[in-house]
Amino acid sequence: MNWIRIRSPRHIVGWSIILGIAGFALLGPLLIGRDPYNQNLAMALRPPSFEAPLGTDSFGRSVLARLAEAARVSFGLAALSVATAAVLGGLTGVAAAWWGGWRERLLSSFADGVLAIPGLMLVVLLVSFAPGQFWLLYLAISLTLWVEYFRVVRAVSKQVLGGSPVQASRLLGFDMLYVVRRHLLPEIAPLVLTLMTFGVASAVLAIASLGYINIGLRPPAAELGQMMAEYLPLYQRAPWLLASPVALLILAVLGLALLTSGERPE
């Protein structure tokens, strides 16, 4: 696809950062060989060393092992939520443009209603019913993000469906699946993939924010926002603790920003 071509050195750096974080999240727990939940109070608050490259926390747990687990949980949850939102928004957007009439107006009104509530506020509202539940956090972020995909896909689909190539395909008796595969996907896919990149960055920040205010995943779960909330009171005594999750979060957002530099959905 044109979207994934390397267009500039910024894209190379962005892909390098994202792939490096993905490798750390997926392979880190295996390569480090340390249980991120194993406590050893005799090793509490040890500074970085050969045995513990990022030091240990107040419970003697390896910060490096917990950071790898947090990367897997945070970025995995963000990617899953964005993928769900993209599928849900894409399908409803195509359906609304295809059907038209009152069904399109109904879906559009529902999307406008969701959009009227600030995204993070909606997530907080839903998650507050059962704080710390992975499935509810996933559902809340997915429902918040789907509107953007719906609006973009519906707008592009209406334009494509009104074109002469699609009208010719319909006159020849081709069904909806053929029209979607042959005419809609080539136009929609690059835009949706770009939106997903922005969405992952937004979801990662939202998950970290919820963890930081203690309504996201609960301890002892390893999650970037939860780690920052846990390590903040110790920043004077052990500054390396807070630096690790903050640096990883900044790197992730920077990598995603570099990937989307020069890419704006129309």
Report the distance separating Cα 70 and Cα 26, nearest Å. 11
Spell out the per-residue pLDDT of the chain, length 266, in tens.
444 455 678 888 888 999 999 999 888 877 777 788 888 888 888 888 888 889 888 898 989 999 999 999 889 999 999 999 999 999 999 999 988 888 989 999 998 888 877 777 777 777 777 667 788 888 888 888 899 999 999 999 998 888 888 878 777 777 778 888 888 888 898 888 888 888 888 888 888 888 877 777 777 888 888 888 888 888 888 888 989 999 998 998 888 888 877 554 44
Structure tokens at 261: 């530099």
Amino acid in position 101: G
CA distance readout (Å), 213 to 98, 201, 229: 42, 19, 7
* CATH number among 3.30.110.40, 3.40.50.2300, 1.10.3720.10, 3.30.200.20, domain 7-259: 1.10.3720.10
**pTM exceeds 0.85:** no
- The pLDDT tens digits for 73-100 are 889 999 999 999 999 999 999 999 988 8
Report the distance separating Cα 8 and Cα 97, nearest Å. 35
Euclidean distance between the first and the last CA atom of the chain, given in angstroms as a whole number: 17
pLDDT number for residue 7 = 62
The domain ranges of the chain are 7-259
Closest CA to 65 of 53, 79, 76, 77: 53
